[in-house]
Amino acid sequence: MSKRISSIILISLIVIFFLILGLIAFLFRQIPEEIISEKIVPEGAAEWETYRNEEYGFEIKYPKNWYNYEWEEGLIAISTFSREEYDKYYATTEIKKLGESYGLIYITFPEKPLEEFFELTKSGIESLKKPGSGYRIEKFVTEDVIIEEMKGYRIYYSGKSFMRFEEGEESINIVYLFLVKEKEEIIRFEGNFKGKNGEKYARDFDQMLSTFKFLE
């Protein structure tokens, strides 16, 4: 009888153990992932160039071999190609002359509340899932982020774009949205990365955001 009781107790303990593990795993899945900018230290960032915006009071570093230019009023661009190359090739069928891989980051300042613009951005991406959009989405993820103690969002989506070429081209897109310190305005960073080095450029972009800081 004692052996039977011991077996029952052992089985009960095993069941309880696995139930606890399942509960822990469930609770961890419910915790929103946050990216804390201070925790990421890009290698070689000390040699990167710096873009500084006095009007909005921030600066951000970018790789030394990238370019920074004002594309039009209120729209800043940081890319793997020059402004001249942008004008000549980017919006044409000769875009492949930019290389097998390229990256383009826009910095804009939408005049909408953060939550509203976040929802609008998500809706726009969801619309790309519809037939005839010229885009095939394979991955779509949103995350809460903290940049310089300010709440924001990171939106990632990737897939294949058929907007320029019939055979399509691999595309990775990342959008960061967050509030300007002590203002009711938001900053939007949107990166578009194509080709075999697209994933590397996307990682560079995330590392760039880790260097973002408000001016004192």
DSSP 8-state class, residue 9: H
- Domain range 37-214, its CATH number among 3.40.50.720, 3.40.1000.10, 3.40.50.20, 3.30.70.2190: 3.40.1000.10
Per-residue pLDDT of the chain (216 residues; tens, 9 = 90+): 455 555 555 555 555 544 555 545 444 444 444 444 444 556 667 789 999 988 888 899 999 999 999 877 778 999 999 999 988 988 787 888 888 889 999 999 888 888 999 999 999 999 988 888 888 899 999 999 988 778 899 999 999 887 666 667 789 999 999 887 666 778 999 999 998 899 999 999 999 999 998 887
Nearest-angstrom CA–CA distance, 139 and 200: 17
Whether the model pTM is above 0.85: no
One DSSP character per residue, 114-134 reads HHHHHHHHHHHHHHTTSTTSS
